[in-house]
Amino acid sequence: MPKAPAGAAAQVDFQITEQNAREIMERLLRGMGQTAGEGGHGHARATDLHINPGRPPDYRIARVIRSVATGPLSQADVVYLSNGIMNKAQQERFNRNHCIDFSYHLDRSRFRINIVESFIGRSISIRRFEEIKN
């Protein structure tokens, strides 16, 4: 794994398969709440996560896009990640419409997930909402 470039959100080492895609996606989602400002200081958290073929995953932190320090994702990686986060009914709806929006809860966090099929292939956009208070 190469050294994280300046401004990178985090360094992640993973090999995406159909079997581990959900686990990796949830690691990326948890990373949205754990990211810090430049140099690891500050309290900025990622508001968005963008996953596209040909690029590493990108976090939006304090209005700045920061790539996860990993190689670019393949189209198969993006398909595995998106299928890993959808249930069977959502996958069927996506296959019919080539797009889907749904909410996802992980730990105490909520996310809005948008998955689309376009001319570049499948893409995932995720917005993190503030933690659910008691």
Q: What is the pTM of this model?
A: 0.81
Tracing tokens 């959100």 back to the chain, one arrives at: 9
Residue 5 in any domain: the answer is: no
Residue 99 in any domain: the answer is: yes
Q: Work out whether strand 46-51 and strand 121-129 pair parallel, antiparallel, or are unpaired.
A: antiparallel
Residue 84 in any domain: the answer is: yes
Q: How far is CA 130 from the centre of its chain?
A: 16
Q: What is the pLDDT of residue 39?
A: 46
Q: Work out whether strand 64-67 and strand 46-51 pair parallel, antiparallel, or are unpaired.
A: unpaired
Instruction: Please report the DSSP string for 51-68 in residue order.
Output: E-TTS--EEEETTEEEE-
Per-residue model confidence as pLDDT tens digits over 59-76: 998 888 888 888 899 999
**How far is Cα 35 from Cα 27, in angstroms, rounded to an integer?**
12
Q: How many structural domains is the chain composed of?
A: 1
> N- to C-terminal Cα distance for the chain?
40
Domain of 94 in residue numbering reads as: 21-129
**How far is Cα 38 from Cα 42, in angstroms, rounded to an integer?**
7
Residue 10 in any domain: the answer is: no
Residue 32 in any domain: the answer is: yes
Contact of 115 with 86, CB cutoff 8 Å: yes
Per-residue model confidence as pLDDT tens digits over 13-57: 678 999 999 999 999 999 888 754 444 444 468 899 999 999 999
Residue 26 in any domain: the answer is: yes
**How far is Cα 73 from Cα 20, in angstroms, rounded to an integer?**
15
Residue 6 in any domain: the answer is: no
CATH number, domain containing residue 28: 3.30.450.90
Across 96-101, average pLDDT: 98
Residue 1 in any domain: the answer is: no
